[in-house]
């Protein structure tokens, strides 16, 4: 062992260093250390959006007397909005699947009409919803295809 004593005014500092290089105790290491894997920030954010969706759905249900139903799955970047109402023997419902992608959403919707014993289901064309801003005013652009098909 080597030691060094330094006197600086009234204070005395002693440093003790080993004579040779430091060696790790091999018995202390039993293998690779396992670090706990936490959720990534993206996973935490997706879960927070899902939880927020549940809270919003509860409030929407109370405010609209269960006419509006909202589901958000942040992990899979999907959502569902259903608006339905019925009076006597007539009912109207709009049900939509939403896929969030590239800063916007792609929506697949279906209209469900009932009048007495008659029932009509209409699959609406898929459309895209994207945020926009014009002269500082925020809004959305809804893109509905006029013709679609495969060639």
Looking at per-residue confidence, does 71 or 27 come out higher?
A: 71
61-88 confidence digits (pLDDT tens): 899 888 999 898 888 889 999 999 988 8
pLDDT tens digits for range 1-22:
555 444 555 555 555 555 566 5
Q: How far apart are CA 130 and CA 144, in angstroms?
A: 12
The structural domains of the chain, with segments of one domain joined by +, span 41-143
Say which residue the tokens 């004579």 belong to: 19
Percentage, residues of the chain above pLDDT 70: 74
Whole-number Å distance between alpha carbons of 123 and 63: 28
- Residue 54 Ramachandran class (φ > 0 left, ψ -120 to 50 alpha, else beta): alpha
Q: What is the largest CA-CA distance in the chain?
A: 102
Q: How confident is residue 39, by pLDDT bands cut at 50, 70 and 90? A: confident
Query: Which residue would you say has higher pLDDT here, 148 or 82?
Result: 82
CA–CA dist 100, 53 (Å, integer): 14
């Amino acid at each position: 062992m080597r030691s060094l004593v330094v006197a600086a005014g009234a204070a005395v500092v002693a440093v003790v260093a080993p004579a040779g290089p430091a060696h790790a105790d091999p018995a202390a290491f039993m293998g690779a250390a396992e670090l706990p894997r936490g959720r990534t920030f993206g996973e935490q954010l997706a879960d927070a959006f899902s939880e927020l969706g549940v809270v919003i759905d509860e409030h929407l249900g109370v405010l609209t007397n269960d006419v509006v139903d909202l589901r958000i799955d942040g992990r899979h970047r999907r959502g569902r909005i259903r608006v339905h109402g019925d009076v006597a023997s007539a009912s109207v419902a709009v049900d939509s699947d939403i896929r969030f992608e590239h800063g916007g959403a792609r929506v697949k919707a279906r209209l469900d009409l009932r009048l007495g014993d008659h029932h009509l289901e209409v699959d609406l064309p898929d459309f895209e919803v994207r945020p926009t801003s014009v002269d500082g005013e925020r809004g959305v652009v809804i893109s509905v295809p006029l013709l679609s098909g495969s060639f």
